[in-house]
A and B are shown apart, each in its own frame.
Chain A
């Protein structure tokens, strides 16, 4: 440490002369200031991912001639991966893949619609608005496992849901009703999250834009379609992306609400967990890596196709190129483009 400390000072002193713009110096400073953060990120995110990928090429266990487990990890090449795509394992994998995708698509679509509606309501000026905002956020504040237990009781054979419906639906058995239970519980919990992010997006839209539209004789629906939606699009896309990634990795809700070993709600995460519980860490890691790749692929496609601005640096870049600042908002309004 004692040696390292003076170094930046000296180099900075030297560099001062070469600085071409204040921007560059700030960039350097930012890099230095952020490096501990990156170090931590590498340690807590990068390293586990690499170790997970490494694990997926190894296998543990197997019995020797004496009937005892072979000690240590053995290199297994790509066998953990190829095994996933063979026989009964393949059926289970593709089923989990389908279930994961189904949950993601259905949940995110429903949640986006409801969440946006919530945001529109919360954005209105009315009496008790803060109360409504707070209460809408309660489901989001409850940990998923807790809400899963809560819904488990609601969906009990003699629970509230069946009382209300006047029917005895066995929600926690395998089948479409189990999927519905998961979708309902997930929507209940996370639509407020989308609502919150969209609300933030709504609040930066200046009131004048609506007034101008009103004067031009635009209907409420038209204003929503051509003003609200395009202007809220960046916030909405980020919210949808986050939810998409979360739903793809969904584990606790189906696991607790419906239970393990029910194919209709078995997601890829549950599959990986089941393998690891049975101490097959190699195949478990392989499942996790496949899920990770699927996640990365979808996120990349989402960002590319829909232009979700996750990092928040797309706007200034574009602004620089086109030489007009804050172009994003202006352009969107002018064109009225739709997501």
Chain B
């Protein structure tokens, strides 16, 4: 199976380790991974801040880059939800504005083929034990767009529970937003910071070493808050845990 990795602009620029982990993990599971070099950004930040017209060309570009692959895999629930949920909506809106069928038609092929990583592992590859080894205590934060947007359900937790050596701790208030919200973190910094601090306190109460999530943008906010609060915890993307083995452990 030949799949395209849609790494997202945030991962590419700030979290290349997550990308390397996805490549390592999928290759180990027998998947032929390609990274189309012309990929950029799905347009979510533009769309969610109200710049729908700026987001449209980015969505078109995304479709041009990825339309010929069998599947598109992304280690981001948030960007995955952008493609799966909001691209069809952008198409509908363009149609309602009398701008023809073109955008909706262009975007349609990539929508059903785009999978968030844990969804791809469980639903497409049909695995929950990916042969990982990670001897740490971990608590899992289900990010909003993964939880309520894509409906990832218990897929990430099932994958984590099958990791050897990993002890999973329940996170109190797990389904509450961490307060990132893209430009929300800047536009409403006080509220965002208060939400982040509460998330970190809840995570600390589990006694886990690691807070894990399937979205680096939320982890950037939570990790940045942990750093400032001098918490002993570390934020780690779920891909890095699933890629970790006894021979090649994640740091």
Asked if chains A and B come from one complex, the reply is: no
